[in-house]
Structure 1
Amino acid sequence: MKLEGILPALITPFDNQGNIDFVALEKVVEKQLADGVHGFAVMGTSGEYYAMNHDERAQVLTFVKKVVGGRVPLMAGTNASSTREVIELTNKAKELGYDNVLLSAPFYALPSNEEMIAHFNAVLDACDVNIVLYNYPIRAGVDVGMEVMEAFQDNARVLGIKESSGDLLRAMDITSTFGSKIQLSCGSDDQALDFFIWGATSWVCGPANFLAPQIVRFYNAFQAGNLQEAQRIIKALFPVMQCLEESKFIQKLKYGCELAGVPGGACRAPLLPLTEQEKVDMKAAFAIAEAV
């Protein structure tokens, strides 16, 4: 798999009783496909995988696979807090037809570099899949850093890394050190233009759940060499990016879907709904992005 283009980090809509809303999920997926996205990352942070049991995660993976029907590539988030559980989830994803998985460091355990390398090797040994590493230290508690990437740079089944540390220097270091051996995917939404300039080939993007038309146009402009247009579009998205990062990221993704005309659904506890003021602020930021 080549990590290429705009790959939404797909949300999971829930109804008011807390059940997965598959009707809403299909509408979200179809809207983004119609808007030209290039693939999906399913059951990542934006999908609230941590609030779901294994059976529910498998249901979502199965459903998205069926709805997409091979139109774009997919990768499954199979993260968990232990190596044994990650292997179980990853083998299940493979059984459901996912050849590529997105994996951060196991959360809460705070593994060392040596332990992370052993963890990813154990998954590779036990599961017939390709891995995209995921560096998100603010949630995982540790950094999937250069030493870990160095250990896997010559392993053809470790495709790349979604870099979400917020450190642009890391993106520069990855491309200059590893070149095409470790494909770079942007995971820091407000740095997307900089990431592409420094060699990223894809953007695993939460805001694409509701801003896919604008984000795809940004990507197409960049690919065509029109940096001025790419900059114009991404600048108009900054108010939304800022609003998302201030608080309640996932709730705002789902409200953004509502503003874009598709049902985003509710979140599961402990996440609380947006206040009326938060909705007002998000709606104002969305209006700026929508007009670009």
Structure 2
Amino acid sequence: MTWTGVFPAVTTKMQASGAIDIEATQNSIDRLIENGISGVIVLPMLGENATLTQSERDTVVRAAKEVVAGRVPLLSGLAELSTDNASAAARNYQKLGAEGLMTFPSLAYRTDRQETVAWYKTVAEASDLPVMIYNNPIAYKVDVDVETLKALVDVPGIVAVKEETGDIRRVTDLFNAFGDRFDIFCGVDDLILESLALGAIGWVSGMTNAWPAECVSLFNTARGGDFATALPLYRLLTPAFHLDTDVKLVQYIKLAEHLVYGAPEHVRKPRLPITGEERANVEEIIMQAISDLSCLAGRKVGKG
């Protein structure tokens, strides 16, 4: 199996009470698919996975399966503390209809290389689902680096790496070490053009939740080698893309969705809504992007 294209990390929509808004979540997934994304990832960190009960996670996967309806691959995030729980979760998500897993490292503590290898090998062998390794050492303090992946290269269930170290040199290091063995996905929005230039074939994106058509266009244009066309759009969106790397990315991206198309921006505690100067600053970035995108679209229409 080869995954490629834009795979948004879908936000889980909430009501003001903190309860999951299933209808809004399904509507957002349908909007993403209608705008050309290549796959859907529910229950990512951006989807507030860690704040949900297992019953709620199951509900989200079932609801996503219903609305996706086979149009694109459906992946589920898998974030657990223990190996046994992670293995059980892998089997459970397969039973619920997920077609792949984006697997976090253990959330229990910082595993060393041997433990990290054992974790991913066990989870990958627990179900028939292909696994994308979620490599975000900035947030989770575990780096699935080249040496770690060498110990996992013979595990057939591991098919992709979400590369989120923030070090663009890692993309080339992975290709030099493994060729095409793993599908390399860019995991941060503000490195997508650089990652594509170095050979990445996919993008796990946050801000695609707000601007799916524009992000798909950016990806396809750049992957096709037309960087002269892609650069203006990338530069325009980069201030908003920077919000994807902040500790409050959930609040920021949900606010972007709210401003762009009216989605609910509620989050679940302990996250709180952003207010005051912080909110004003984020709104300014998002509204500037909305305005600039409108002007860019107008110029294209005029040119045509």
TM-score w.r.t. structure 1 length?
0.95
* Structure 1 equivalent of residue 97 of structure 2: 97
Q: C-alpha separation between the residues in 1 aligned to 2:209 and 2:98?
A: 21
| Secondary structure of residue in 1 paired with 2:161 | strand
Question: Within 5 A, what are the aligned runs for 1:134-173?
Answer: 134-173=134-173
Rounded Cα–Cα distance in structure 2 between residues aligned with 1:96 and 1:239 = 37
Cα displacement (A) at 1:78: 1.3
- Counterpart-to-counterpart distance in 1, 2:44 and 2:141: 16
Which amino acid in structure 2 is aligned with residue 124 of structure 1?
A: A
Aligned residue type for 1:86: A
**Amino acid of the structure 2 residue aligned with 1:285:** I
Kindly report which structure 2 residues correspond to 1:167-206, keeping only aligned pairs within 5 A, or say none.
167-206=167-206
Q: CA deviation at 1:153?
A: 2.0
In the TM superposition, what whole-angstrom CA distance separates every residue of 1:121-174 from its partner, at most 9, and x where no partner exists?
222332222111110112222111112211222333211100111111111111
Instruction: Quote the residue 2:266 is aligned against.
Output: 266
Decide whether aligned partners of structure 1 residues 242 and 113 sit closer, same or farther in structure 2, where only a CA change above 3 A counts: same
- Which residue pairs with 2:232 in the alignment? 232
2:242 is aligned to 242
| Preserved CA contact (<8 Å) 1:24 1:262 | no
Superposed displacement of residue 244, structure 1: 4.3
Matches within 5 A, 1:1-292: 1-290=1-290, 291-292=292-293
Calculate the aligned-residue CA RMSD, in Å: 1.5
The runs of at least 4 consecutive aligned structure 1 residues that moved more than 4 Å come to none
SS in 1 for 2:245: helix
Q: Is the 8 A contact 2:13 2:21 kept in 1?
A: yes
Distance 1:122 1:156, change over 3 A: closer
Of residues 270-279 and 198-207 in structure 1, the stretch that sits farther from structure 2 once superposed is 270-279
For the Cα contact (< 8 Å) 2:197–2:223, is it kept in 1? no
Amino acid in structure 1 at the alignment position of 2:242: Q
Shift of 1:213: 1.9
- In structure 2, relative to structure 1, the CA distance for the partners of 1:170 and 1:264 (3 Å cut) is farther
- Specify the code of the residue in structure 1 equivalent to 2:142: V
Q: Distance in 2 between matches of 1:242 and 1:102?
A: 22
Q: Is the 8 A contact 2:6 2:219 kept in 1?
A: yes
CA distance in 2 between partners of 1:260 and 1:124 (Å): 38
SS in structure 1 at match of 2:162: strand
Alpha-carbon distance change, 213 to 54 in structure 1, aligned in 2, over 3 angstroms: same
Of 270-279 and 185-194, more deviation after overlay is shown by 270-279
Shift of 1:278: 2.8
Cα pair 1:94 1:129 within 8 Å, conserved: yes
Equivalent residue of 1:219, what SS? helix
CA distance in 2, matches of 1:145, 1:162: 12
1:217-273 CA-to-partner distances (Å, cap 9, x unmatched) read 101211332111111111111111234434521001111111111413311111110
Kept in 1: contact 2:77–2:101 (CA 8 A): yes
CA distance in 2, matches of 1:267, 1:150: 39
> Given that residues 28 and 262 in structure 1 are in contact (C-alpha distance below 8 angstroms), is that contact kept between their aligned partners in structure 2?
no
Structure 1 residue 283: deviation in Å? 2.4
Partner SS, residue 271 of structure 1 = coil
In the superposition, the TM-score normalised over structure 2's length comes to 0.92
- d(CA) in 2 for partners of 1:40, 1:264: 19
Q: Work out whether residues 188 and 245 of structure 2, in 8 Å CA contact, stay in contact via their aligned partners in 1.
A: no
Count of equivalent residues: 292
Partner of 1:152: helix, strand, or coil? Answer: coil
How far apart in 2 are the matches of 1:287 and 1:234?
A: 16
Instruction: Measure the CA separation in 1 of the matches of 2:44 and 2:179.
Output: 26
- Structure 2: stretches of 5+ with no match in the other structure: 294-304
CA distance, structure 1, for counterparts of residue 246 and residue 148 of structure 2: 30
State the Cα distance separating 1:113 from its structure 2 match: 0.8
What residue number does 2:299 align with?
Answer: none
Paired residue secondary structure (1:15): coil
* Compared CA separation, residues 178 and 286, structure 1 to 2 (3 A): same
Distance in 2, Cα, partners of 1:284 & 1:24: 25
* Residues 276 and 77 of structure 1: CA distance in aligned 2, closer, same or farther (over 3 Å): same
